[in-house]
Structure formats: C-alpha cells, structure tokens
Amino acid sequence: MSRVGQGEFQFDVIADWARLPEGWTFGWVPGVAVDSRDRVIVSSRSDHPLVIFDTEGNVLESWEDTVLVPENAHGIYIDGDDNVYLTEWLGHCVYKFNSAGELQWTLGTPGVPRPPGRPFNRPTDLAIAPDGCLFVSDGYVNHKVHKFSPDGVLIKSWGEPGTGPGQFDLVHSVWVDSDYRVYICDRENNRIQLFDGEGTFLEEWPGYLRPDKLWFDQDETIYMAEVGHRVTILDRNNNVLSQWGEAGEAPEQFVAAPHGIWGDSRGDLYVSEVATDGQLKKFVRVRDL
C-alpha cells in the first residue's frame, strides 16, 4: 500500500475506495464531505448526483428525484446539524437540505445568473461562521465574496478582479474559523487570502498550486486541495505540516485536479477530482508512527 505525507500527518492510500452498485458510474466528482455519523457524502456530475457511503465505501443511500442538476455540481458543506449545502456553479444558487435529503431553502435563483456584483454568477462554495452567517464564494464570473445573515439576507459583498489585496482571480472556496477569520481560495492567483468578518483584508498566503478547496478539522488544522495535483495540510499560521501529490495514475498520484477534500472522525481523508471521471481516493491516517 502506498504511503504519503510527512510527520504526524501520514496516510495510506485506498485509490478504489467507493464501491458503486453494478451499472453505476461517477463522472467528475467535485465535492465530498463527511457528516457527524461518518457518512461520506459525495457530489458528482453523474446520473446519481448525491450518493452517501459508509467509511468502507459501501453505498448507504442515493438522493434521487431532487432539484439537483448533475452538471451543476460544485461545492458541498455540512453543518453541525448534518444539514447539507450544495453550491451549483452553473445553476447560480445554493441549496440547503436536511440530513434526510429534504430541501430546506434555496439561495439565489436557479438557472439565472445575476447582474455583475450581485449574487450569484457561477458560485463555487459556502461556509458558515460561528454566528451562523453564511459566506459564499462567487466565483467564476463575479469575483466576489458574499456575506448573508443566518436567514439568508445579504449583508455585504466584497472583491473585484485583480491581483492585489482584496482582489481575486477565481474565488473558489471559503472557510471561516473560530476567530471569525475568513479564508478564501484565490485560485488563479495561487494564494489564500484572509479577511475579517467585515471583508477587511488581513493577509495573504502566496505560493500554492491553484488552491481550490479548504476543510478545517475540529482542531482547526487546515486541509487544502490544489488543482496542481497536490494536497497540503497546514496550521492557521501558514506552517505546512504535510504535503504530497504529483500528476500520474499511481494510487498516490492525482490523475487530473484535486477539487474536494474532507475528513472523518478517525482522521482519514477523502479527496475527489475533476477534469477526469470517477476519481475519489481515501487516505487512511497512520496512527502508529
């Protein structure tokens, strides 16, 4: 079995983890997340746009006959109550489902891109702040971050095209930590930008390989998927704790573009890819170092 990573963050790779039923296939797999019961929730551009697995890769359920449009799948977020938030980039909206797959609300107008600067025009991801406010990265066209109240009222937006502080070239993912710092994957500028909750620029972390998804564990260790065939684990001071990845078809390599990342209660990671079909790897944390 292939092993990746360094220091306290080493993992054994299971490349063919997901056990799909006969006749099922995955297309691109932009999103993966894990709920409080360690159910692995996979959002893909396929005939089965949302499938839930156990940690062994067995299918538990599939959400059929929902509003989800497979080709629109992009971001996924799970809150503390196991609600599932799905950001549809080509659908220009965010859906909130409860853990049973029942639609709770829709943010944005499905299928309708909004005028410049207004939410949404090809959004990419959502995260929830400690006070329940919603942050959406809006993304491929708008170059904006939007902050909403917990009940979905727009509070403020910030961002514009460019390379300077507070400017973006593809706003691709968002996370908010316990100190209310807002982390943004500024993908094509190869950096993470940090802001306070009001959109004031704090600092930037340059030098990454097109970072496109963030996930924080309960200790607020940061896990990042990068389009440049890499996964990076770092702390909130931008110290790299572990890093691996290169292009290729070996189990420890990435075929195309890591796009989704999330971990379970055991410290195991799940990483999905786009620009190729069916790539969803499990990285099992090594505990006997």
Domain that holds residue 172: 3-285
User: What is d(CA 29, CA 271) in angstroms, rounded to the nearest whole number?
Assistant: 9
Chain segment 94-133, per-residue pLDDT in tens: 999 999 999 999 999 999 999 999 999 999 999 999 999 9
Q: How much is the mean pLDDT over the chain?
A: 97
User: What is d(CA 185, CA 224) in angstroms, rounded to the nearest whole number?
Assistant: 9
Place of tokens 């292939």: 2
Chain segment 242-280, per-residue pLDDT in tens: 999 999 999 999 999 999 999 999 999 999 999 999 999
Strands 59-62 vs 50-53: parallel, antiparallel or unpaired: antiparallel
Percent of the chain with pLDDT over 90: 98
The residue count of the chain comes to 289
Dihedral, 56, 58, 61, 66 alpha carbons, nearest 10: 90
Residue 156 β-bridge partners: 147
Closest CA to 120 of 191, 188, 166, 171: 171
Place of tokens 């990419």: 124
How far is the CA of 69 from the CAs of 18, 42, 45, 48, 273, in angstroms?
22, 14, 8, 10, 18
51: tokens are 């499938």
Cα-to-chain-centroid distance, residue 277:
18
92: tokens are 């220009």
Residue 225 β-bridge partners: 213, 231
Average pLDDT over residues 153-177: 98
- When divided into structural domains, the chain yields a total of 1
CATH code of 165's domain: 2.120.10.30
Whether the predicted pLDDT of 288 surpasses 90: no
Query: What sign for the dihedral angle of Cα 256, 208, 45, 2?
Result: positive
Instruction: Kindly report the pTM of this predicted structure.
Output: 0.98
pLDDT band at 70; cut points 50, 70, 90? very high
